[in-house]
C-alpha cells in the first residue's frame, strides 16, 4: 500500500482535530461548576491578617437593682439590747424581764425556754409566749402550774413566804395567760380545795382575787408525797411547772420525774432552805425537764405582813374533814 499524501492526509488531520475539540466540549459541559466564594474586601499581600480583625466587643447587660425594703433595712443585732426590743403594733411592758435571763440581765440557761410555746405550739396560741417569774426564776409560757410543798416542815416563815411569792407571780400574769396551783403533803390539794378548779384558769382580776382569798386557808399536813400533785400538774399540759419544796420527797416523785420521757413541759425547781438530799432531787428534776434550780430563803417582810394580818397557818398530824385527807385517823 502506498503512502497517503497530499489533500487526503490534510483532510484526515482536520477531522481528527475536530473530533478532539468536540470531546473536550462535551467533557467540560458535564463537569460541576464551582461557584466563586464571595469576597467582601481584598487583602493586600503585605498586610497581616490580624490587623483586619477588630477586637471582640462584648456588651455587658447591667442587672436592674431591685429594692427590698424589709431586708435592706437590716439592723446589727449586736447593737440591740434584749430589754429594748419592741413589738410592732403592741407595747410590751418590762420586755427585759422575759426570757431566760438571770438577775443581772445576762442570758441564762436556754433550756428553761419552752420553744414550742414561744412559736405558738402550746399555750393559748398567742404566737409569742409571755413572761412568768416565781422567786426570781424567769421563764416564758402562756400556761403555768405552781406545785408547792405544804408539809409540816414548811414552817419558820417558809409557808408565808411561799404564799407571798405565789401572789406576786400570779398577780403579774396577763389576762391571756392561764395558771393553776397545787399543794402537796399527805396528798394533792388542787386550787380552791375542797372544791378544786377542774383546769387551768385565765389570769383575770377576778381569778387573782379568788386565789388571794383561798391561799391563806391552806393548812400544813404531815408527809411530803408529790406523786398525785405532779400527775395532776402534767395532766393539765402546761408550758411551765414551778416546784417549790424544802426537803426530799417521801415517795417516788423524784424517780418518776427524772425518768426518760418525751414531755415538752419545762420544770423549774426551787429549794426553800432545803437539805442536801432534797436539793439533789430538786436539781435532778429541773435538769431532766429542761429547767433550772434555785435556792431561796425566807422573806421576813412576808412573814411580818402575815403576822400583822392575824394569819396563822394550822398544822395537821391526823386526818381532818378538809385537810390531811390521807393521814391516819385521830383518836
178-224 per-position pLDDT tens digit: 999 999 999 999 999 999 999 999 999 999 999 999 999 999 999 99
Looking at residue 6, its pLDDT comes to 58
- Identify the weakest region by mean pLDDT among 22-31, 212-221, 228-237: 22-31
Does residue 278 sit within a domain?
Answer: yes
How far are the Cα atoms of 20, 24, 133 from residue 27, in angstroms, in the given order? 11, 5, 113
Answer whether residue 25 shows pLDDT above 60. no
Q: How far apart are CA 253 and CA 188, in angstroms?
A: 12
Looking at residue 71, its pLDDT comes to 31
Q: Kindly state the average pLDDT of the residues 60-83.
A: 40
CATH of residue 277's domain is 3.40.50.410
Q: Kindly state the average pLDDT of the residues 296-302.
A: 97
Does residue 64 sit within a domain?
Answer: no
Does residue 262 sit within a domain?
Answer: yes
Looking at residue 235, its pLDDT comes to 97
DSSP 328: P
Answer whether residue 63 shows pLDDT above 70. no
Angle at 116 between CA 112 and CA 117, to 5 degrees: 80
Q: Kindly state the average pLDDT of the residues 223-237.
A: 98
Does residue 52 sit within a domain?
Answer: no
Does residue 247 sit within a domain?
Answer: yes
How far are the Cα atoms of 166, 169, 253 from residue 248, in angstroms, in the given order? 21, 24, 9
| β-strand pairing of 178-184 with 240-245 | unpaired
Answer whether residue 306 shows pLDDT above 90. yes
Judge contact between 216 and 311, C-beta under 8 A. yes
Answer whether residue 309 shows pLDDT above 80. yes
At 326, list the grid cell.
Answer: 390521807
Q: DSSP states of 205-264 as a string?
A: HHHHHHHHHHHTT--EES----HHHHHHHHHT--SEEEEEESS--SSSHHHHHTS-----
DSSP 79: G
Looking at residue 129, its pLDDT comes to 75
- Tell me the pLDDT band of 22, cut-offs 50, 70 and 90: low
Answer whether residue 42 shows pLDDT above 90. no
Residue 189's CB is within 10 A of a number of other CB atoms, namely 25
Looking at residue 12, its pLDDT comes to 55
What is the residue-averaged pLDDT of the chain?
Answer: 76
Helix H or strand E encompassing 11: helix 7-30
Q: How far apart are CA 117 and CA 124, in angstroms?
A: 9
Looking at residue 51, its pLDDT comes to 44
434555785: which residue's cell? Answer: 294
- Tell me the pLDDT band of 89, cut-offs 50, 70 and 90: very low
Does residue 44 sit within a domain?
Answer: no
Does residue 26 sit within a domain?
Answer: no
Q: Which domain holds residue 292?
A: 99-316
Judge contact between 236 and 145, C-beta under 8 A. yes
How far are the Cα atoms of 49, 53, 55, 309 from residue 58, in angstroms, in the given order? 22, 15, 10, 91
Does residue 74 sit within a domain?
Answer: no
Q: What is the pLDDT of residues 237-277, one digit of tens each?
A: 999 999 999 999 999 999 999 999 999 999 999 999 998 99
Higher per-residue pLDDT: 40 or 216: 216
Euclidean distance between the first and the last CA atom of the chain, given in angstroms as a whole number: 178
At 331, list the grid cell.
Answer: 383518836
Per-position b or e across 94-118, b if 16+ CB within 10 A of its CB: ebbebbbbeeeeeebbeebbbeebb
- Tell me the pLDDT band of 322, cut-offs 50, 70 and 90: very high
Q: What percent of the chain has pLDDT over 90?
A: 60
Domain count, the chain: 1
Looking at residue 61, its pLDDT comes to 47
At 109, list the grid cell.
Answer: 440557761
Amino acid at each position: 500500500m502506498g503512502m497517503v499524501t497530499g489533500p487526503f492526509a490534510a483532510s484526515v488531520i482536520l477531522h481528527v482535530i475536530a473530533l478532539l475539540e468536540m470531546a473536550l466540549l462535551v467533557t467540560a459541559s458535564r463537569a460541576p461548576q464551582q461557584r466563586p466564594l464571595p469576597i467582601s474586601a481584598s487583602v493586600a499581600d503585605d498586610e497581616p491578617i490580624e490587623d483586619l480583625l477588630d477586637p471582640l466587643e462584648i456588651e455587658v447587660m447591667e442587672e436592674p437593682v431591685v429594692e427590698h425594703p424589709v431586708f435592706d433595712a437590716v439592723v446589727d443585732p449586736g447593737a440591740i439590747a434584749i430589754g429594748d426590743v419592741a413589738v410592732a403594733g403592741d407595747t410590751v411592758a418590762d420586755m427585759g424581764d422575759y426570757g431566760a435571763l438571770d438577775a443581772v440581765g445576762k442570758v441564762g440557761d436556754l433550756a428553761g425556754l419552752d420553744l414550742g410555746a414561744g412559736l405558738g405550739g402550746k399555750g393559748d396560741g398567742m404566737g409569742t409566749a409571755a413572761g412568768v417569774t416565781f422567786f426570781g426564776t424567769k421563764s416564758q409560757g402562756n400556761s403555768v402550774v405552781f406545785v408547792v410543798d405544804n408539809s409540816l416542815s414548811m414552817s419558820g416563815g417558809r409557808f408565808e413566804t411561799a404564799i407571798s411569792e405565789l401572789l406576786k407571780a400570779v398577780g403579774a400574769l396577763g389576762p391571756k395567760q392561764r395558771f393553776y396551783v397545787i399543794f402537796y403533803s399527805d396528798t394533792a390539794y388542787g386550787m380552791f380545795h375542797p372544791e378544786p378548779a377542774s383546769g387551768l384558769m385565765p389570769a383575770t382580776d377576778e381569778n387573782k382575787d379568788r386565789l388571794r382569798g383561798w391561799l391563806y386557808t391552806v393548812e400544813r399536813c404531815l408527809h411530803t408525797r408529790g406523786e398525785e400533785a405532779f400527775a395532776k400538774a402534767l395532766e393539765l399540759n402546761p408550758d411551765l411547772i414551778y416546784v417549790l419544796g424544802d426537803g426530799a420527797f417521801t415517795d417516788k416523785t423524784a424517780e418518776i420525774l427524772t425518768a426518760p420521757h418525751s414531755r415538752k413541759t419545762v420544770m423549774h425547781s426551787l429549794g426553800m432552805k432545803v437539805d442536801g438530799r432534797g436539793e439533789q432531787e430538786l436539781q435532778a428534776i429541773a435538769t431532766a425537764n429542761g429547767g433550772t434550780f434555785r435556792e431561796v430563803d425566807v422573806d421576813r417582810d412576808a412573814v411580818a405582813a402575815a403576822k400583822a394580818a392575824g394569819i396563822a397557818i394550822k398544822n395537821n398530824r391526823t386526818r381532818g374533814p378538809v385537810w390531811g385527807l390521807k393521814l391516819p385517823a385521830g383518836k
